[in-house]
Amino acid sequence: MTRTLVTVFLKEIVDNLRDRRSLASALIMGPIFGPILFAFVISLSIERSLDDVEETMELPVVGQEYAPNLVRYLESRNIEITDGPADPDAAAAAVRTGLHDVVLVIPEDFGAQLAATRPARVKLYSDGANTQGGREARRAARALSAYNRELAAIRLSARGINPLVLRPINIDDIDVSTPSGRSAMLLGMMSYFFIFALLMGGMYLAIDSTAGERERGSLEPLLSLPVTRTQLMLGKIAATGVFMAFSLMLSLLSFYVVLKFMPLEKLGMTPNFDLAVVVAAFFLLAPFILLGASLMTLVASFTKSYKEAQTWISVVLIAPTLPILIVSILTLRPQLGFMFVPSLSQHLILVDMVKNEPLNGLHIAISVFSTLVFGALLTWACARLYRREGLLG
């Protein structure tokens, strides 16, 4: 029994180590592309959030000459005033076509209205469908209302009234999230990368050892040997699992390295991702290997050809995101029931690890146990499927 298993296992390992496609998906796809994509997304969001505070914003203004004080005020708020389009109609068109993100239009009677203490009207053109423009418009609006409040205060003071009467309530925003907690939001997608890398690592092995063998015509001679099909299948799943474990370890390590070079502290983030977490995350995700290997083998043995197997396994690659996505959209807090769901439980526990929050031992135990049970069930289903005559296609 064990001799057969070991023989099949070793042959699959050697065979796939020599196969560029298997090797590339185990060594490159998950472990390298994942962190690179991640680093890209993070640096993009760092850039964007830094934009808000520090960078000078450009604001085209139509009719600057009617409100020199306002213009000076805006310039003091790090907003660079540029010449806008010729008239309000041109301003609307420029925003609509994306030439400008925001345009401020000051009418000719602005000064006269102010002098008469009547509300002076200004128009701020923006395109709500344009996220970048939306942020700029909000910033311009904030600056304008600050100017508005300042003028109101001056007017009240001039009439001998304390400007504070206009401020019955003062709102202080207090963000209680810790720096580690804020990182978790961004690093939430990281757990999917690991599951993806893990699956990619074994994908070609799973296909090759079923659909591939069949297409090559090596399955029939193999099945005519004096070994049971269950032994063959277990040897193949074991080899698939080793590739998956390897790919997982590599991608954890490459994340560890990438995070060291990311300027996350600029975002006020200090993710807890040291080597101890790398090791802990490996053991947390390891039970998913059996589940993934048996699931992919199961799918591949249903299909008729290599290509068909590839198509269906791509679906399998996406499936683990679904529970993560649903919980993220509904912003549900971790609870006991979730720990029975593979991929979701690993995601939630990993997020807690990265947030440096105390871990719930029961949650971890349920996650490991339920994932292993699912994996064992699928392996059993694989064994059943392997005994079918139809396996030969």
Binding positions for another protein, rule: CB under 8 A: 3-4, 7-8, 11, 14-16, 18-19, 216-218, 220-228, 389, 392
Nearest distance from C-beta of residue 27 to another protein, angstroms: 16
Nearest distance from C-beta of residue 215 to another protein, angstroms: 8
Of 169 and 225, the one with the shorter C-beta distance to another protein is: 225
Nearest distance from C-beta of residue 23 to another protein, angstroms: 11
Of 225 and 315, the one with the shorter C-beta distance to another protein is: 225
Determine the Cα–Cα distance for residues 64 and 110; give it in Å rounded to an integer: 10
Nearest distance from C-beta of residue 218 to another protein, angstroms: 4
Nearest distance from C-beta of residue 212 to another protein, angstroms: 10
Of 218 and 335, the one with the shorter C-beta distance to another protein is: 218
Nearest distance from C-beta of residue 8 to another protein, angstroms: 7
Of 217 and 361, the one with the shorter C-beta distance to another protein is: 217
Of 129 and 392, the one with the shorter C-beta distance to another protein is: 392
Of 14 and 28, the one with the shorter C-beta distance to another protein is: 14
